[in-house]
Amino acid sequence: MAENKRDWRARYKFRLSIVDACVVVWAVVGAYAVRFGFSDLGDGRLREIDYLLLSVALALAWWTMLKIWGTREAKILGSGSEEYKRVLAASAWLFGCVAVVSYALRIDTARGFVGLAFPAGALGLLVARWLVRQHLALERRRGESSSRVLIIGGPYSAEHLAKSLQSVPAAGYLPVAAHVPGHALSLASAPGLSVPVTGHETDFEAILSAITEANVDAVAISAGVNMHPTDLRRLGWELAAQDIGMILAPALTDIAGPRIHTQPVAGLPLIHVSTPKLTGGKKVAKRAFDIVVSGALLLCLSPLFLLLALMVYLTDRGPVFYKQERIGLRGTTFNMLKFRSMRVNADAELANLLRQQGSSDKPLFKVDNDPRITPLGRVIRKYSLDELPQLLNVLGGSMSLVGPRPQRQGEVELYDDAAHRRLYVSPGMSGLWQVSGRSNLTWEESIRLDLYYVENWSLMGDIVILFKTFKAVFASTGAV
């Protein structure tokens, strides 16, 4: 059984090996064909033979470098950006070494050959890995190709960890049981736990027995575990001997990797969490990115702007733009622009509609099946075309391309202390809420995602969110 449960790892390593080989050969052969062609290979000239041998060596080295860099390790497959980072790092190091060796030995390597192979291969590898990841995600949603996990910890932290892992099946961690040492909970009376409880014994042998019976690939130690540090160390040794992974899940939530730093002190791995700051160079970089991208998009989309403006005007001869006061950075107000998608004076009807559906006291002022939306408005809302004028807000500085959802004064008045932290950065045209369900999200989910963004901002994160936004818009996920 222990061998079968790891079959998916070997299967995916083999699958990735084949995919990598195909992409690498395609990139190298394609670069060779474009740069040199194949018509002169038979004339015996040394240059073409040398480049043919170089191509073979480059393809083999590239495939090997991907393996050395750990791009096929099971723990990075299916979720996160680490897999893509390693693929790019392995490719960059290889071609960097080729450049250094060529310079040191004064080998006249054709720049066109290298200049074609590297970007084509790197992009091809990223696309291929993404396609493989989509297939893996489908399998994991069915409960397949995942690491079986036993959670050890207190009942509340164990339940929180179990639900967190279950909410992201693509990550590949499938909680199958929990062991709660020191807590007298029976299998039938464990309150709130969504996985079976193997027991509450604290002795080392009982915990090892629970791990063996659960037949798991990894053990996750959550916060509140009632075990002596010496027993935890012994447990780590035993798990290593059985080739079972050991995962430590601290009581930190919604903290991204770049903010976490580990420092060993007296044999203890102390975790430092840096304070989130969007000041100085980071602030300048974000603003510069907003100006460049919004300006370029406004220039490219100007014909579409004119067409949409004309269509909105011809609908009922009303105003083209809709302005609404929203709360921005540090509680300041600004007028957010949209193409008008509702009939004229629609705001005057909002309070009555909210009362009718019984949601006038809720933070998100949304009307289900809103009768104020025009036929054209439903179309442009479905594909978020009504949001395009907000590029002018971004260019003017009242908004950012990526940030928390801009909300109205009435919604902000319902904020608690935690929700007010979302006002630490400029509101965005898009954000984590946009790529995670948009209007399908609850108030609590929207706030949690916005706070996560504020606490863990990075420029690369903004770029990733923008790419995901295009996917969410074309899929019309959560559009209203």
At residue 18, the pLDDT reads 95
Looking at per-residue confidence, does 61 or 277 come out higher?
61
Q: What is the mean pLDDT of residues 150-171?
A: 85
Measured distance CA(309)–CA(36) in Å, rounded: 51
* Ranges 84-88, 158-162, 404-408, most confident: 84-88
Instruction: Reply yes or no on whether the pLDDT at 236 is more than 80.
Output: yes
Residue 3: band (very low, low, confident or very high) from pLDDT cuts 50, 70, 90 = very low
Lowest mean pLDDT among 33-47, 111-125, 153-167, 369-383: 33-47
Where residue 336 falls among pLDDT bands split at 50, 70, 90? very high
- Distance from C-alpha of 450 to C-alpha of 477, rounded to nearest angstrom: 18
Q: Is the confidence at residue 40, as pLDDT, over 60?
A: no
Band (pLDDT 50/70/90 cuts) for residue 477 is: low
Query: What is the model's pLDDT at position 297?
Result: 93
Residue with token string 């160079």:
281
The answer on pLDDT for 351 being more than 70 is no
In this predicted structure, what is the pLDDT of residue 169?
87
The pLDDT assigned to 142 comes to 87
Residue 149 pLDDT more than 70? yes
Phi/psi of residue 188, nearest 5 degrees: -90, -25
pLDDT (average), residues 66-89: 89
pLDDT (average), residues 329-355? 81
Q: What is the rounded average pLDDT of the residues 374-391?
A: 88
Q: Model-level pTM?
A: 0.66
pLDDT at 123: 94
Q: Which domains does the chain have, with CATH numbers?
A: 4-141 (no CATH), 147-251 (3.40.50.1980), 280-475 (no CATH)
**Looking at the chain, how many residues does it have?**
480
Q: Which residues pair with 150 in a beta bridge?
A: 177, 219
**CB contact at 8 A, 375 and 316:** no
Is the pLDDT at 42 greater than 60? The verdict is no
Tokens representing 115 are: 């200049």
Helices (H), ranges, 168-251: 204-214, 229-241
pLDDT tens track for 422-452: 888 889 998 887 777 655 667 777 777 888 8
What pLDDT does 60 receive? Answer: 94
Rounded mean pLDDT, 28-54: 67
Structure tokens at 82: 């680490």
**Once rounded to an integer, what is the mean pLDDT over residues 30-39?**
75
Please state the φ and ψ torsions of residue 319, each to the nearest 5 degrees.
Answer: -60, 145
